[in-house]
Chain A
């Protein structure tokens, strides 16, 4: 599904290039649950952003479902997010001016899904996440864990084939974190959704099937996990 070949990323500052990613090559298959780990500043978020097409690599080839991403225009990239990618952020990034239901509805609107189907999908997701009672609340009326649930619901409602999550539990307490991880695992196993998450926690990484370790922009380790 994803194929990175010799991805490089650097920022040029006053003529000095500072490399963030070097020679990153890897492949991620449909249905995998990958955890990216590594020290702070290693380039994890950058890699995830490149995977999510939010940033462009300086060099290298990126194939997403057989398409050469580097050659895409912004419009086309957005088409791809719409149809295939769901993002989950450490800071949740819910839209403060929208209610829970509206936040979840937003990606469907951009996909031009008809109203009746939107309603049923939102109802579905809310039900699944046990948030029906909260649907008219605004993000600042929710706890962190609840906000992240909404963030995930929002990523899921568009039925993406892949979820990219940058430290989804970074701001959460461990009980809530566990709940999120269980959810990811279930989504991965039951719905076959590919998940790529950045995490600092060994424990969280164990939920996945594979761990990529990055240090100084280079993939140091690539191991598979055999469950808990």
Chain B
């Protein structure tokens, strides 16, 4: 019976090829999307699961308010670890160090140099008690035995040494303050594929705290601890909070007397008194939670995952709806078969089994296609989301396939149930008597389904268009500087960072000698970044904390900033400009209530306030992207001694950029040998800032297109069938004198209404969602309602075209032959 059912299922598929193709392809695309998102989610949730103590392992840091400013560091003083080790036996191990470092490493074998920028972790010797990575080669603990020992991940080892055994091989690194060359010997290898880590590091070496000497305890470090099994972490952590507050108070009071036991209250008072710390609390996060969203990151992955999951579910649901709808449409054709079978003795359950078998067959075919589609799309998705997903080559392939199989079962149940019950429920007598009425009009359930589908699809299309409009705005908005061909070159050598303009001149001349370099200047930071310095300005009794940019005289000229009032710094007046002139940006003007230039402004210098003359007003420069308001900023050309000009900013000529860059690198290697030049471009920095938005826009685009395509597939099948079962009616109307337009109008009407209703729902949905999205921007466009209109109109036109295309066959058929055949 099963075999026969399968055979019949196959023949039915074949007979209704067109519908089957739409059904299966739609489902396959939906499933492929879902599988890819499963891959992504599995990956994102798969970190650190190998660690048996994972649920007992925490990262600890401090959150405190000092002198009115909140400090949300991700690190905490070494004092914390010392306190915990001494006072908390519930802690199995605690380890401190640096969890996110970089290491430029190279190998030189037989003259062949392999260079890699790897991410590194260096922690103290308790680290593997807290984070039990296991060596597949060598011993992890050996890295603590020797200052030059290093452990390396399997993947990184493969990059650096190929297939050779990496143990006792040498890696060369320029390390430390003066980038001295150091040879590191590989003592252990761990398998980063089998032990995927949230921290994602390639090499590990022992942390060296000796450089801090007596300062050690007051220095802050990444801190990770594991509780003993069975300990109530929450209450223990809150006890730690108090214990550390007291320890810190004793520390800042410089009183280590064992009899000095301040209460928490007293401790807080001491902290306030000595350090200006008005509030203090520990931040702790389970390591298992870090990847999905940490205290510190604004764009939590959990949100991304939820959004992706929602989109993928839409896709699958829409494909199921399609499937159900098309099956219902075809059900009319199957009525006779059901009737006959029942008369031959088929029970309802036999028929249910049969129809489920049919659904299952289609779903399995769709699933196989989905796997192929997913495999083909994975590289593209990796590109888009900046991930390293893999399907067939992934280590947890069976997990993914298993999950996908569950989805498949769910899909079979969802997509197959309704049509199966409808079909199996047909009463034979109605069918056999021949007065079984093939529904001329669309059943109400099907109407709801179509509206749902199109609502989701249209809402996604509108969202995409609105996002695109905002992105376009972001790409084209005047940022207050000219970001093209603006290169920032990092000065590596500390001695070269604090040169006066005169001392810098020789270096400047060498770079300017390169024909592709138009001009150059220096600043403490890149133009599009936090400058790293803040000052308090006072004017007319008002105080304002501003960002301070210490630059060279020609800074604004080089970066393309504009002085809208007053004057820029000038080389001729450098003697006065460097000691008493400042520029303020528009925001600072507004916040200080400054109405004109040439006013005296005080800058707080710790003990005294120095007066400066405001010589000009600078057009706001959007150094923080579009999410944040421009901060009030002061520009100074003063002080090279304490405000190191770490960056050279070069304006390049647009021609032959590549060769210009090469020449700059070459020249710079001559100036600072032994280190690869580090540089960046302003436009790329901006692009990176907007990358998350560009990415989500693309994701929405792909999902939107897919849902739309799948929905249209549904519509095509639906319209084709509706036209088919109305062929007779159409023929009759034609004989009665209806024109093609009349007939198309008649056939379109039902669908059009549905799509119009879906448009209205989608508009509301997209409006609400986009409003929320816009809330994240300080600089945004007004809600572009014309996008809504465009989307609505296009969808309606597409609907009419689709339905008409499918209806034309019925409309154009010869009425005489149709009626004769009946």
A binding-site residues for B, Cβ under 8 Å: 45, 49, 52, 54-55, 74-75, 78, 81-82, 87, 89, 91, 93-98, 102, 105-107, 109-111, 154, 158
Q: Which residue of A lies closest to B338 (CB)?
A: A95
**CA of A75 to CA of B342, assembled, Å:** 10
Which interface residue of B15, B340, B345, B350 has the most chain A CB atoms within 10 A? B345
Q: Which of A89, A98, A107 contacts B345 (CB 8 A)?
A: A107
Count residues on chain B whose CB falls below 8 Å from chain A CBs.
Answer: 25
Q: In chain B between 672 and 731, which residues have their CB closer than 8 angstroms to a CB of chain A?
A: none
Per-position binary interface string of chain B over residues 497-520, scored 1 when its CB falls under 8 Å from any chain A CB and 0 otherwise: 000000000000000000000000
**CA of A97 to CA of B345, assembled, Å:** 18
The answer to whether B4 and A93 have CB atoms under 8 Å apart is no
Contact flag A93-B345 (CB < 8 Å), given A49-B429, A54-B428 = no
Further contacts, 18 of them, CB under 8 A, given A93-B336, A93-B340: A89-B432, A91-B434, A93-B343, A94-B340, A95-B8, A97-B11, A97-B337, A98-B8, A102-B7, A102-B8, A106-B341, A106-B344, A106-B346, A109-B1, A110-B344, A110-B346, A111-B345, A158-B344
What is the distance, in angstroms, from B343's C-beta to the closest C-beta of chain A? 5
Q: Which of A96, A109, A154 contacts B4 (CB 8 A)?
A: A109
Chain A residues closer than 8 Å to B342, beta-carbon distance: 78
Per-position binary interface string of chain B over residues 786-806, scored 1 when its CB falls under 8 Å from any chain A CB and 0 otherwise: 000000000000000000000
Q: Which residue of A lies closest to B5 (CB)?
A: A109
**CA of A93 to CA of B344, assembled, Å:** 11
Q: Which residue of B lies closest to A56 (CB)?
A: B429
Per-position binary interface string of chain B over residues 309-350, scored 1 when its CB falls under 8 Å from any chain A CB and 0 otherwise: 000000000000000000000000000110111111111101
Residue B477 at the chain A interface, CB threshold 8 Å: no
Chain A residues closer than 8 Å to B11, beta-carbon distance: 97-98
What is the distance, in angstroms, from A52's C-beta to the closest C-beta of chain B? 8
The answer to whether A54 and B341 have CB atoms under 8 Å apart is no
What is the distance, in angstroms, from B756's C-beta to the closest C-beta of chain A? 35
Chain A residues closer than 8 Å to B348, beta-carbon distance: 74
**What are 28 A-B residue pairs whose CB atoms fall within 8 Å in the complex?**
A45-B433, A54-B428, A54-B432, A55-B429, A74-B348, A75-B347, A78-B342, A93-B336, A93-B340, A93-B432, A94-B340, A95-B8, A95-B341, A96-B15, A96-B337, A97-B8, A97-B11, A97-B337, A98-B4, A98-B8, A105-B4, A106-B344, A109-B1, A110-B341, A111-B345, A154-B344, A158-B344, A158-B345
Q: In chain B between 336 and 373, which residues have their CB closer than 8 angstroms to a CB of chain A?
A: 336-337, 339-348, 350
Chain A residues closer than 8 Å to B350, beta-carbon distance: 110
**CA of A96 to CA of B333, assembled, Å:** 11
**CA of A109 to CA of B7, assembled, Å:** 14
**CA of A54 to CA of B339, assembled, Å:** 10
Q: Which residue of A lies closest to B350 (CB)?
A: A110
The answer to whether A54 and B434 have CB atoms under 8 Å apart is no
The answer to whether B340 and A102 have CB atoms under 8 Å apart is no
The answer to whether B337 and A95 have CB atoms under 8 Å apart is yes
**CA of A74 to CA of B345, assembled, Å:** 11
Chain B residues closer than 8 Å to A89, beta-carbon distance: 432
Q: Which residue of A lies closest to B344 (CB)?
A: A107
Residue B745 at the chain A interface, CB threshold 8 Å: no
**CA of A106 to CA of B433, assembled, Å:** 21
Residue B12 at the chain A interface, CB threshold 8 Å: yes
The answer to whether B347 and A54 have CB atoms under 8 Å apart is no
What is the distance, in angstroms, from A43's C-beta to the closest C-beta of chain B? 13
What is the distance, in angstroms, from B122's C-beta to the closest C-beta of chain A? 70
Per-position binary interface string of chain B over residues 1-42, scored 1 when its CB falls under 8 Å from any chain A CB and 0 otherwise: 100100110011001000000000000000000000000000
**CA of A168 to CA of B7, assembled, Å:** 29
- 5 nearest A-B pairs in the assembled complex, by CB-CB distance: A82-B345, A110-B345, A54-B429, A107-B344, A97-B11
**CA of A105 to CA of B8, assembled, Å:** 13
Q: Which of A45, A54, A91, A102 contacts B343 (CB 8 A)?
A: A54
**CA of A91 to CA of B436, assembled, Å:** 14
Chain B residues closer than 8 Å to A52, beta-carbon distance: 343
What is the distance, in angstroms, from B75's C-beta to the closest C-beta of chain A? 71
Contact flag A49-B15 (CB < 8 Å), given A78-B346, A106-B341, A154-B344 = no
**CA of A93 to CA of B7, assembled, Å:** 19
Q: Which of B339, B345, B433 contacts A81 (CB 8 A)?
A: B345
**CA of A55 to CA of B433, assembled, Å:** 11
Which interface residue of B1, B12, B432 has the most chain A CB atoms within 10 A? B432
**CA of A95 to CA of B348, assembled, Å:** 17
What is the distance, in angstroms, from A93's C-beta to the closest C-beta of chain B? 5
Chain A residues closer than 8 Å to B7, beta-carbon distance: 102
Chain B residues closer than 8 Å to A102, beta-carbon distance: 4, 7-8
Contact flag A95-B347 (CB < 8 Å), given A102-B4, A109-B4 = no
Chain B residues closer than 8 Å to A45, beta-carbon distance: 433
Which interface residue of B339, B344, B345, B350 has the most chain A CB atoms within 10 A? B344
The answer to whether A97 and B429 have CB atoms under 8 Å apart is no
Chain A residues closer than 8 Å to B428, beta-carbon distance: 54
Chain A residues closer than 8 Å to B1, beta-carbon distance: 109
Chain A residues closer than 8 Å to B343, beta-carbon distance: 52, 54, 81, 87, 93
Q: Which residue of B lies closest to A91 (CB)?
A: B434
Chain A residues closer than 8 Å to B432, beta-carbon distance: 54, 89, 93
Chain A residues closer than 8 Å to B337, beta-carbon distance: 95-97
What is the distance, in angstroms, from A129's C-beta to the closest C-beta of chain B? 17
**CA of A74 to CA of B432, assembled, Å:** 17
Q: Which residue of A lies closest to B336 (CB)?
A: A93
**CA of A49 to CA of B433, assembled, Å:** 9
**CA of A158 to CA of B7, assembled, Å:** 22
What is the distance, in angstroms, from B340's C-beta to the closest C-beta of chain A? 5
The answer to whether B433 and A97 have CB atoms under 8 Å apart is no
Chain A residues closer than 8 Å to B4, beta-carbon distance: 98, 102, 105, 109
Q: Which residue of B lies closest to A81 (CB)?
A: B345
What is the distance, in angstroms, from A195's C-beta to the closest C-beta of chain B? 17
Chain B residues closer than 8 Å to A91, beta-carbon distance: 434
**CA of A102 to CA of B337, assembled, Å:** 13
**CA of A167 to CA of B386, assembled, Å:** 71
Chain A residues closer than 8 Å to B433, beta-carbon distance: 45, 49
**CA of A111 to CA of B11, assembled, Å:** 24
**CA of A49 to CA of B8, assembled, Å:** 28
Chain A residues closer than 8 Å to B429, beta-carbon distance: 49, 54-55
What is the distance, in angstroms, from A109's C-beta to the closest C-beta of chain B? 5
Q: Which residue of A lies closest to B15 (CB)?
A: A97
What is the distance, in angstroms, from A125's C-beta to the closest C-beta of chain B? 14
**CA of A82 to CA of B428, assembled, Å:** 15
Chain B residues closer than 8 Å to A93, beta-carbon distance: 336, 339-340, 343, 432
The answer to whether A81 and B344 have CB atoms under 8 Å apart is yes
**CA of A182 to CA of B12, assembled, Å:** 36
What is the distance, in angstroms, from B435's C-beta to the closest C-beta of chain A? 11
**CA of A83 to CA of B392, assembled, Å:** 53
Q: Which of B336, B347, B434 contacts A110 (CB 8 A)?
A: B347
**CA of A82 to CA of B12, assembled, Å:** 25
Q: Which residue of A lies closest to B347 (CB)?
A: A78
**CA of A87 to CA of B341, assembled, Å:** 11
**CA of A158 to CA of B344, assembled, Å:** 9
What is the distance, in angstroms, from B680's C-beta to the closest C-beta of chain A? 66
Q: Which residue of B lies closest to A54 (CB)?
A: B429
What is the distance, in angstroms, from B16's C-beta to the closest C-beta of chain A? 10
Q: Which residue of B lies closest to A154 (CB)?
A: B344
Chain A residues closer than 8 Å to B346, beta-carbon distance: 78, 106, 110
Which interface residue of B341, B343, B429 has the most chain A CB atoms within 10 A? B343
The answer to whether B341 and A97 have CB atoms under 8 Å apart is no
